[in-house]
Amino acid sequence: MAADLSAPAWTGRDDGPGPEHLRWHHVVGHDPAAGPYDAAFVGFRSDEGVRRNKGRQGAAGGPAELRRALSSMALPRPLRALDAGDVAVTDGDLEAGQHRLGAAITPLVDQGVPVVVLGGGHEVAYGSYLGLAGTRAVREGARLGVLNLDAHFDLRDDVRPSSGTPFLQMARDEEARGRRLDYRVLGVSQPSNTQRLFRTADELGVRYLPDTECGPFDLPRVDAFVDAFLADCDLAFLSIDLDVLPAGSAPGVSAPAAYGVGMDVIERVCARIAASGKLALCDVAELNPDLDIDARTARAGARLIHRILTARG
């Protein structure tokens, strides 16, 4: 497994022995042979895609902060998790890093372990896709569905891949394989996407729900959007860009949202997808600890991860 760190630290509060006191840091191991595991983590320490996209750098520190925020969260029941370490992009070679991430993901998914990738900029999503595209299930014809919780389409047609291009890269890869990418976005912000990007989305058949239609009074619409996504796929890939949340909940991102979708709605979506039993992989992107306030963004990301891994069907 291509990881640069074999044993990232998980430490936190300890209230005593026994399953009634379990927190995440109690149940995370680092030996793949010591399974079976109920979940697996892989980190992706990369700022290169954000740098190329002319964003505010610092997301390479995201994996460590997500681990730190998750460590002391209390578990509702016993489970076991593997931390497979980090893939780091330190030499500017984003493309090689994305392929190394994919190589780390594929065997975990093939073992039936739900994988959470800790980003990193949103360029992580293409590495996640590469990992899923190589799995036995997809190679044998399983329908892959991609749901992005994001203020942005990330369908930029740039010369070099970046944090703004991953889903166009996926669409082109799927087209080369004779398939059409089933890509949907919840929380997209009109002021944050040019008309060119909306046109690209329409040309690719992307289905999306704007942030203005994802409020607490829009829950039937949100649920129907998620249920339609789940009905059309066998294997689900959930990508969470933390800038989908309002800036008050997620200040520590490259592009904080002036409007955003509330944490209650985003958590509801995550739980619904996890409970379906179709979720193979989730990645969490764009946490920038240098820009965070009181670890709000890290805690928000960690809570979503916690909800996903404890709500699985």
Annotated binding site for Mn(2+): 122, 150, 152, 154, 241, 243
Contact 257, 244 (CB under 8 A): yes
CA torsion sign for 207, 66, 37, 138 is: positive
Contact 184, 224 (CB under 8 A): no
Place of tokens 């709500």: 311
Contact 252, 56 (CB under 8 A): no
Binding residue numbers: 122, 150, 152, 154, 241, 243
Looking only at the bridges linking them, the beta strands covering 207-210 and 182-188 are parallel
Distance from C-alpha of 30 to C-alpha of 269, rounded to nearest angstrom: 30
Distance from C-alpha of 264 to C-alpha of 53, rounded to nearest angstrom: 30
Contact 65, 295 (CB under 8 A): yes
